[in-house]
Structure 1
Amino acid sequence: MVGRKQPPTSVPGVRAQRLVINASHVAATHTYLALAAFGLALLLGCALHYKKIVKNGVAGYPDEWFPSVSATIGDWYPERNIFQILIALTSGPRFALVSLQYFLRRSPNTSLPGFLFAVGIVRTLMCGGWVYITSNDDHDVHDVLMVTYILCNVPWMWGGVLCTPIGHVKARRRRRYVATGFFVSIIPMIYFFVQHKIYRIPGAYTRYSFFEWSLILLDVLFDSITELDFKASNLQIVLGVSLDASVGCDDISPSVPSKGTSSVTETKSEGLAASSKNEQTVSHVSATVPRTFFQKTQAALTLSRDARAVIGFISDVYLSYLFWSIFTSLITTLFYFSVWQLALSGSELSLLVLLSPALLGIGPLRTWALTRSGQVTLRAVAILTGLGSYALKSPMQRLIVVNFANVVLLVGQTTDWSAGKDGYQGLLLGLGLVLLSLAKHANHSTNPVWPMLNEESGGYNKTGLFLAFCALYELATRPFTVPEEEKQISDSKDSSKVTSHGWLAGSIALGSMIFTLHCFFIDPSTIIAWSWTGYKDSQPKGPLPHLHGSLTLIAQAIGLALPTILPACWFINPLWFSYGCASAFVMYRFRDWTGFVGGLNLAVFVMSLLPTIIRQSAQPNKAGRTYSTAFFVTILFYLADVWTVAYAFVPGGVYLRERSDLVLVAQFVATSLVFEWPSRKRTAANSIVHIPSSTSFLVRHLLTLFSLSAVLVTIYRWTPVGPRPYKSGTGIINAGIWTVHFGIDNIGHDSQGLIRNMIRDMKLDVVGLLETDLHRTVYGNRDLTRVALQDLGYYVDLGPGPNMHTWGAALLSKFPIVHSQHHLLPSPHGELAPAIEAVLDVYGSEVTVVVSHNGQEQDPLDRELQSNELARIMAKSYPHPVIFLGYVVTKPHASRPAPYDILVYDGIVHDIDPQDWDRWCEYILYRGLYRTAYARISRGIVTDTELQIGQFVVPRHGFQLVNQTLEDRMIRAWKEDLPEDHWFPMEYYGNNNEGGMNGHFYHVFDTPLYYKLPEGAQV
């Protein structure tokens, strides 16, 4: 029964028995059982297996002397079994505790108690997951469940404090203290975990374990505080059985609270008008029975309504994420054809599908699109075709299907935008973007549901489709209280009256905003790439993408949360626009941490404008021209952004050559149209966004969850062991050069996994990757080094960023990068050529590695000037060792002004094999090292260029190798003449017909070339 406790009612012939249980006993039982489970496991573990449970992968007793929770509860008999029995007994009181708290807190004025009820259920299930699936059973599953449990504690504890009844001062104060202690303890726990996992410091895990156990204790104590609420409200559980009538009921009833105590005791009656038939059926039992039945039913409906609202909100956010996923996949899918031709290929016409919102000018179509059936149909068709296109093998087929998906998608999405009145659509758009950024952060900077990914390349396409079915089903069955079609059409008419005179300004601002979000914020590492300049004194000079990308996500979350906290008028004030301009200037003008901080502030500014811009663009009666104009502006920005770097391959490109500053200024000029300038104050004031408190609450909680998830993903993805050379102690260094064609393989899929496999198999200690600047809209804002870095362990220099307007160069090294410098090689006519000059600490000796991508043969002057600069860079470090890994475009031994002669003679370096006449693009040059092997490996389907590898031996420390003769360098040998650690993998012997691995094999010579060390070599 839900309600105040009622006096018993006598009914002739009916005998009732009642069992009354104080709800506080449930809370106490839960506390004692939980403490007993963990406490007994700890005592038994220390008594029976002490040295075993304190031992870990780094050290054992006495360095480690206190066990972790996982080792205590999951590794040994009998403590594991006793713990699991006790924790199973705890589950009943725990579920009861969650349900009772919901009953006590529920209110018709907020959906927060219902949301907390759902979180409490999920939290309990996650707890059962990580205690029964131990780290020994499945380490990854255990960690995921544990992390999810901790994340659930954020809304659970925060919401628990907010929902504490006003009169329960003692309980509220204790909850604040315990919750604060819980979250503060996470910080040192993560610190000591990093000390243990990354730096492998003995004893760090013991310190980590103290904080891990403190989280367990604080978690149990937080739930135990519920006992105070139950006692103050005198909440009781009454189990009643009518023996003669065989009718049972459960009665949960708080007695009349004492003075000064506030509790929720009244129930809603709306929507619960039971049929007279039901009332007549139970009327002969007693007055209590029907009251109990209907109040229980009403409570269940209230819970269902609140939970359904939360589920509906989550579904909307996921659908927004899918909008961004399909929308951003279009330009990446079409650009596959452009990068093969390095010219306008005709695929660029696919951008015109973005003008499909013009179809909303057809009245009947827009009216249907506003209906429930229209919404579900449009989304279903767009999502199922857009996500399902990954299964198509042909790049052209994928492009056609993605084009169609975007036509349908934009019609449905802009219809929703046109009908939006309260900022909800703007918040949804932002939440979908943050979720996209988080998904890429967790998935090596690639969106797991993009058509360019499949299961082999890191995609989770089937999972995405399954969740899409769930979200679409929820949308199709979502309840509503008034005829939804009429409400949306009515709302859209009201909306049109507000801003009907400002459609053009809103369109231009929206088009600029969509491009800005796509350009900078669909991946958290893009603004890091803008500020990156390399290393100094063996430390990065700025933020690292895989470590500090979570800060970008947090900044985006803060920006989107601001409109739910601060007055709406703040975000149309010219002062706020000045803040955005200053942020963009700092990001563009400065580098390293200063430039990155400017980018973070730009993220806050841009995300905060989303509700305002979407609201001001809502023009229902002019939806067709409004949104088609907006996306036309977006198309212009896409082209301008590409033209700044592809100027050598497009007509009129010279006018935007390297002028990202002009594009950025144009973005802000367009965005300025939504602000409250004196000349349009009335228009802007009429467009102020009003966001309901219930929506604001859910948005802030979800953004908090996303932010914490980003930090936890960073920790989870942190390389467990620092980079180490593949053949430590041998003095061997394997170096490779590979032009990887923008991370797109020959059939249009992301190639990071294939690149990683080749680097791993060939045991490359140093590798130069070219055509790697993917932090652009056309490449999906990806980080091509992320998979190799996180899966194999490398130091990474990204090279010149997207603001440097090159095709990109990156350096991966197993050896520490002492310092590095980025160069923009002279390019007066053609494409701007990048170069990285890095000094590596190779077994205690400093070796300079130069990675470069020169211009094409169409610009001979550029190539000559670039070669002169590269020769100068290599010559200045003479006689110290140098390895040159470059894309040169020249024939071997070509005389000046061709690059070969300039590089070899002016740079004072040797060709890795001057007798290899079959080269054109890629070259490996060296100095001051012993070369022992050289291989050329076919490209497979990864790219359009082979991988070249050189194997070198570093002279003993302190010895400088100079004046090597050609005879000393060219003592050829069979591999059997060298130790096995000099051999390249045998699995790659083969040809076009058979052999090799994944389409790769040794070609040109059909084998690696091996060389003996000269007599008297100092190694």
Structure 2
Amino acid sequence: MSPKHLDGDVVAVIPGQWITHFHTIAAYAAFVAAFLFGISLHYHKIVANQYFGYPVEWFPSVSATIGDRYPERSVFQLLIAICSGPRFLLVFLLYCLVNRKGESGAKWLAGVGIFRTLTCGGWTYVTSTDDHDWHDIFMISYLVATIPWTVGCLMLSPTNPTTSKCRRYLAGAFFGTLFPLVYFFIQHKVHRVPGAYTIYAFFEWSLVLSDVAFDAVTALDFSTFEITVRDVKGLSRGEKKRVQDVVLEEQKDKPIGQIFGAKFDWQELLDAVSDVYVGLTFWSVFTSLGPCVWYFPLWHMGISGYETALMTTISPMLLGIPPLRRLVTRYVSAVHFTSGAAGLLAYLVQSPRGRLGAVSIAVWQGCLAWTASWSGARGDPKKLEARISAFLLGLMASSIAKFACWTNNPTWPIMNAQNGGWNKTGIVCFMLAIGWAFYRQPQTTMSSVQQPTEDPKGSFAPAALGLGGLFFGLHAMLSDSSTMIAWVWEGYPVRGPLAVPHGSWTIFTMGAGLLLGLFYPNIARSWRAFGIASVGAAVVTTLHNWTGYYGALALTLYLCAMTPVLITNAVRFPPGRTFFLGFFAYNIVVLFNVWVVAYAFVPGGPLVREHTDWVMATTMIFLGCGVFSVLQNEGTPAEQKSFQPPPNPAARKQRAYYLYILLFLQLLSASIAYLRFPAYNYEPYHKDNKLITAGIWTIHFSIDNDMWSSERRMESLIRETELDLVGLLESDLQRIIMGNRDTTQYLAEQLGMWVDYGPGPDKHTWGCALLSKFPIINSTHHMLPSPVGELAPAIHATIEAYGELIDVYVFHSGQEEDPEDRRLQTEYLTTLMGQSNRPGILLSYLITRPHQGNYNTWVGEKSGMKDIDRTDWDRWCEYILYKGMRKIGYARLSRGTITDTELQVAKFIVGAPEGTGDFVPEERMPMALRFPALFRGQGVRGHRYHVFGEPRYFV
């Protein structure tokens, strides 16, 4: 007979909270011990960085403390190894805690916990000194896994006011610390601010402490557990008991209780993910229409007729026909499918006209589908909120995809496998998302048409105009995270935000705006909020640097907060006329936004010349109309003034799933900012020879002859020609019609160059930019006199090359049809160049014949500039001028299929006296000073030395 279970059968009993305590003590001990050893043995070494040492920097970072020196590195790794056992037990006990009957998230949370533990070991044992790339990969993976771990603990753990409160505060501290952490890292890395790295180190240590503290809270949950060790020969008796949840009555009516208190449902999470991905696909298709349309007027140099494709957004007018409205609403998933399929598969069409046609169909169907989705749910606040949240989160996801891919959406029809497209991946993900929507349609009653509970007040027109202003604001300002940063950029030294990493700040503000609109719509729709947003719009339009960007963030917050408010209000009215007028108003402002810069090529253009302020004012007036309509239809005046959120049946677990997606997107954005952050350790190609190779290229807005994005081929040519300086013209793409892109981001990061964007999108030019292997010490942007024709932009930059300061000028003059403009511009820039005694290089687009007209002003005593090759008679647009340096080479490379203009290249020696300028054969030039032989004969990819057939060299 087996022995009975007596007290003596129990070998040991370990209280569950002891596991947490041991984990917390071991983790903190590892960091504290490494810190104490580090400051005791290597204090001055671990506080020093590449710019400053003690006493400017006096507190070590976590990475320097735990990974750089012996013995602190070994002590840290030993204690972290000891910590790993309790860590895995902690994950196991948490699994036991949340593994309740009917709960499907326990295994998922355990898997996340194990993955997070393994990645922690990755960045712990592979330090940045060992392998910087893998250290970063493990660290980013750990941070990304922290989101589902945090959310899962909040969502699945038994409801307890103390643990819930502690977890929320610690999670907020952890994620909130990321933003000042990034800020001070930029102050150190970019601005080289003394002492900034010390402040950064404090936030880095705070991140570690709050992360460990978050897991320490499990001690409160595990107090109901005991780990019992019994004699293996004994028989267990009694049934397995599960931890009982303590549901507290006082939590049930609070927002956090409504959102996180319900049981987790995988199907509902997949519903949310599916909806958001359909939203992402819509915004990918919607934002691709502009670049596809732009291709045609670009080549026609004026109205082409294809601009009418912009009107495909007015398809919701079909919903004014009742039978058609019922049909579309019933089969809305099918309409979404036709939109996504046409838009994502358009890249397979080789003909630019055919591709534009496919995208136009996709946009037509997409606008129709989303309008039907919203209007069909107008009697169901829960479903309507879900559709609106998916729409805005889809925009955020699209913006993050562009953030990750250097401002190109990887599923656009101008992308393919050769230039960085993820078209096939996008198609597969979309098919999975829309397939899930079809599968879930009967259960989620997507086909039902709900009626509003009461008739709307007032006319539909103000509500529609509000939609027009909203759609334009979201598309023009927020479809790319760097657009408004380009608006406020003023050159070097850096005095404002950078596209990387501050694009993640814009995305974070978008998420905050969505939360404001969902939880506190009374605040968002108030006239006070509208006034603040109007001030923000005025600030970003008229001011620059950080001040201008703060205005941009205020506008961003408002636009996203008003998205659920304005759409919820608009669906009260007949959808056909309301959304037709809304999208029509959007189209008018889009054309207005093009006209202000393209005034020289469109009818009536001079009337709106250079009036981005009018565009912004129109947008805000339209939004104000929407606010007026909302306040007519939303509650009593007393309710509208309340700061408390109104009762909303959607404030349930459904909202939680969209918040989880939002948290994931925010951390993904921060991770991309971290991974893309530049190293700023750039070097010229031939520093031993004090050589500068400079080029000028008109890049035709990065759309090639066949309507493909051309950044990657541009990068290859610039790299192969070994350019240390390159001026780019026709480079401003930060408008709806051009896709809100920035080619210079990709080129600068891939080539390892500093970049100056030039006059921003609010300056109404076609743009110019400067890329430099040498640090840009100072730069100013100039708008040259242009009383009649298009504005002429210029950059005057001072670089430090081989210990000398050199002026570089990048310039695009006005059109051939405006001779007086070009004469005034010549006088302006010639005077500017003549005022400097430093060596200089002009990389320019002059529109003049050699030795004729304005050429004799550019080249002369007033400017001090000389022509790179006075014998080159076959020029009209591009010229390279110089002074104070020795020219040794000049070449012209054919354009291939990238653009409509060749690349001109010149070589200079810094610090050497100017030579005679006589031609010499290539054989007399050292190999390091020669142009690449790659482009001789037929060259590569259509690029070859032409006109002369070979480079020219001088002495």
In 1: Cα distance, 2:238 partner to 2:725 partner: 73
Q: Which of the residues 552, 557, 579 maps onto 1:599?
A: 552
Per the TM alignment, residue 715 of structure 1 is displaced from its structure 2 partner at its CA by 2.0
* CA deviation profile, 1:35-76 (whole Å, cap 9, x unmatched): 9899999999x9xxx99xx9x9989xx999998799799xxx
Indicate the residue corresponding to 2:923 in structure 1: 976
Q: Which of the residues 543, 556, 580 maps onto 2:533?
A: 580
* In the alignment, structure 1 residue 446 sits paired with structure 2 residue 408: yes
Q: Which of the residues 497, 519, 522 maps onto 1:569?
A: 522
* In the alignment, structure 1 residue 883 sits paired with structure 2 residue 841: yes
Q: Which of the residues 653, 657, 661 maps onto 2:613?
A: 661
> The residue matched to 2:743 in structure 1 has which SS?
coil
Q: 1:853 to 1:167 in 2, by over 3 A?
A: closer
* In the alignment, structure 1 residue 989 sits paired with structure 2 residue 943: no
Q: Which of the residues 395, 398, 408 maps onto 1:433?
A: 395
* CA deviation profile, 1:242-267 (whole Å, cap 9, x unmatched): x99xxx99844237x9xxx7689xxx
Indicate the residue corresponding to 1:466 in structure 2: 428
Per the TM alignment, residue 375 of structure 1 is displaced from its structure 2 partner at its CA by 2.7
Q: Which of the residues 625, 645, 654 maps onto 1:673?
A: 625
Q: Given that residues 112 and 149 in structure 2 are in contact (C-alpha distance below 8 angstroms), is that contact kept between their aligned partners in structure 1?
A: no
Q: Which of the residues 484, 488, 494 maps onto 2:445?
A: 484
Identical aligned residues as a percent: 34
Normalised by the length of structure 2, the TM-score is: 0.84
* In the alignment, structure 1 residue 645 sits paired with structure 2 residue 597: yes
In 1: Cα distance, 2:366 partner to 2:178 partner: 42
Q: 1:800 to 1:859 in 2, by over 3 A?
A: same
Q: Given that residues 887 and 954 in structure 2 are in contact (C-alpha distance below 8 angstroms), is that contact kept between their aligned partners in structure 1?
A: yes
Q: Given that residues 67 and 206 in structure 1 are in contact (C-alpha distance below 8 angstroms), is that contact kept between their aligned partners in structure 2?
A: no
Indicate the residue corresponding to 1:1003 in structure 2: 946
> The residue matched to 2:727 in structure 1 has which SS?
strand
* CA deviation profile, 1:922-950 (whole Å, cap 9, x unmatched): 00011111001111111122111111111
> The residue matched to 1:913 in structure 2 has which SS?
coil
Indicate the residue corresponding to 2:93 in structure 1: 97
Q: Given that residues 931 and 969 in structure 1 are in contact (C-alpha distance below 8 angstroms), is that contact kept between their aligned partners in structure 2?
A: no
In 1: Cα distance, 2:158 partner to 2:816 partner: 76
Q: Which of the residues 907, 912, 925 maps onto 2:868?
A: 912
Per the TM alignment, residue 102 of structure 1 is displaced from its structure 2 partner at its CA by 2.5
* CA deviation profile, 1:459-503 (whole Å, cap 9, x unmatched): 22222222212222322223776x7156x41x2x126x3427532
Q: For residues 218-367 of structure 1, what are the structure 2 equivalents within 5 Å?
A: 219=211, 222-231=214-223, 233=224, 251-254=240-243, 306-367=265-326
In 2: Cα distance, 1:204 partner to 1:515 partner: 39
Indicate the residue corresponding to 1:290 in structure 2: none
* In the alignment, structure 1 residue 629 sits paired with structure 2 residue 581: yes
Indicate the residue corresponding to 1:936 in structure 2: 892
Q: Which of the residues 846, 850, 858 maps onto 1:903?
A: 858
Indicate the residue corresponding to 1:809 in structure 2: 768
* CA deviation profile, 1:353-411 (whole Å, cap 9, x unmatched): 2122222233333223323xx13222222112211222332222211111111122222
Per the TM alignment, residue 88 of structure 1 is displaced from its structure 2 partner at its CA by 9.2
In 2: Cα distance, 1:569 partner to 1:40 partner: 49
Q: Given that residues 26 and 96 in structure 1 are in contact (C-alpha distance below 8 angstroms), is that contact kept between their aligned partners in structure 2?
A: no
Q: Given that residues 425 and 614 in structure 1 are in contact (C-alpha distance below 8 angstroms), is that contact kept between their aligned partners in structure 2?
A: no
Per the TM alignment, residue 198 of structure 1 is displaced from its structure 2 partner at its CA by 7.8
Per the TM alignment, residue 809 of structure 1 is displaced from its structure 2 partner at its CA by 0.6
Q: Given that residues 537 and 552 in structure 2 are in contact (C-alpha distance below 8 angstroms), is that contact kept between their aligned partners in structure 1?
A: yes
Indicate the residue corresponding to 2:543 in structure 1: 590
2:445 maps to a residue whose letter is E
Indicate the residue corresponding to 2:643 in structure 1: none
2:395 maps to a residue whose letter is L
* In the alignment, structure 1 residue 946 sits paired with structure 2 residue 902: yes
* CA deviation profile, 1:787-829 (whole Å, cap 9, x unmatched): 1222222222111111111111111122222222212122222
Q: 1:563 to 1:115 in 2, by over 3 A?
A: farther
> The residue matched to 1:675 in structure 2 has which SS?
helix
1:682 maps to a residue whose letter is Q
Indicate the residue corresponding to 1:277 in structure 2: none
Q: Given that residues 984 and 1008 in structure 1 are in contact (C-alpha distance below 8 angstroms), is that contact kept between their aligned partners in structure 2?
A: yes
Larger of the two Rg values belongs to structure: 1
Q: 1:885 to 1:554 in 2, by over 3 A?
A: same
Q: For residues 92-131 of structure 1, what are the structure 2 equivalents within 5 Å?
A: 93=89, 96-103=92-99, 118=108, 121-128=111-118, 131=121
In 1: Cα distance, 2:511 partner to 2:310 partner: 30
Q: 1:613 to 1:930 in 2, by over 3 A?
A: same
Q: Which of the residues 371, 374, 384 maps onto 2:341?
A: 384
Q: Given that residues 798 and 805 in structure 2 are in contact (C-alpha distance below 8 angstroms), is that contact kept between their aligned partners in structure 1?
A: yes
In 2: Cα distance, 1:477 partner to 1:249 partner: 44
* In the alignment, structure 1 residue 394 sits paired with structure 2 residue 394: no
Per the TM alignment, residue 740 of structure 1 is displaced from its structure 2 partner at its CA by 0.2
> The residue matched to 2:347 in structure 1 has which SS?
helix
> The residue matched to 1:577 in structure 2 has which SS?
helix
Indicate the residue corresponding to 1:294 in structure 2: none
1:544 maps to a residue whose letter is L
> The residue matched to 2:889 in structure 1 has which SS?
strand
Indicate the residue corresponding to 1:267 in structure 2: none
Per the TM alignment, residue 855 of structure 1 is displaced from its structure 2 partner at its CA by 1.6
In 2: Cα distance, 1:806 partner to 1:542 partner: 21
In 2: Cα distance, 1:569 partner to 1:449 partner: 37
Indicate the residue corresponding to 1:293 in structure 2: none
Please provide the CA RMSD for this pair: 4.6
Q: Given that residues 95 and 106 in structure 2 are in contact (C-alpha distance below 8 angstroms), is that contact kept between their aligned partners in structure 1?
A: no
Q: Given that residues 834 and 853 in structure 1 are in contact (C-alpha distance below 8 angstroms), is that contact kept between their aligned partners in structure 2?
A: yes
> The residue matched to 2:696 in structure 1 has which SS?
strand
Indicate the residue corresponding to 2:735 in structure 1: 776
Name structure 2 gaps, 5 residues minimum.
250-260, 641-645
In 2: Cα distance, 1:238 partner to 1:769 partner: 73
Per the TM alignment, residue 31 of structure 1 is displaced from its structure 2 partner at its CA by 7.6
Q: Which of the residues 356, 367, 376 maps onto 1:419?
A: 376
2:611 maps to a residue whose letter is R
In 1: Cα distance, 2:445 partner to 2:278 partner: 19
* In the alignment, structure 1 residue 738 sits paired with structure 2 residue 730: no
Per the TM alignment, residue 618 of structure 1 is displaced from its structure 2 partner at its CA by 0.6
In 1: Cα distance, 2:33 partner to 2:552 partner: 51
Q: 1:238 to 1:722 in 2, by over 3 A?
A: same
> The residue matched to 1:604 in structure 2 has which SS?
helix
In 2: Cα distance, 1:789 partner to 1:809 partner: 14
Q: Which of the residues 513, 536, 552 maps onto 2:506?
A: 552
In 2: Cα distance, 1:310 partner to 1:814 partner: 48
Q: Given that residues 23 and 87 in structure 2 are in contact (C-alpha distance below 8 angstroms), is that contact kept between their aligned partners in structure 1?
A: no
- Number of residue pairs matched by the alignment: 909
In 1: Cα distance, 2:608 partner to 2:951 partner: 45
> The residue matched to 2:697 in structure 1 has which SS?
strand
Per the TM alignment, residue 314 of structure 1 is displaced from its structure 2 partner at its CA by 2.2
When structure 1 is superposed on structure 2, of 346-355 and 151-160 the one drifting more is 151-160
Per the TM alignment, residue 682 of structure 1 is displaced from its structure 2 partner at its CA by 3.5
1:442 maps to a residue whose letter is A
> The residue matched to 1:774 in structure 2 has which SS?
coil
In 2: Cα distance, 1:626 partner to 1:87 partner: 61
Q: 1:704 to 1:174 in 2, by over 3 A?
A: closer
* In the alignment, structure 1 residue 611 sits paired with structure 2 residue 604: no
Per the TM alignment, residue 634 of structure 1 is displaced from its structure 2 partner at its CA by 1.4
1:722 maps to a residue whose letter is N
Q: 1:619 to 1:863 in 2, by over 3 A?
A: same
Indicate the residue corresponding to 2:255 in structure 1: none
Per the TM alignment, residue 770 of structure 1 is displaced from its structure 2 partner at its CA by 0.2
Per the TM alignment, residue 430 of structure 1 is displaced from its structure 2 partner at its CA by 2.0
In 2: Cα distance, 1:326 partner to 1:316 partner: 15
Name structure 1 gaps, 5 residues minimum.
1-14, 265-301, 1013-1019
1:547 maps to a residue whose letter is P
Indicate the residue corresponding to 1:714 in structure 2: 673
Per the TM alignment, residue 310 of structure 1 is displaced from its structure 2 partner at its CA by 2.2
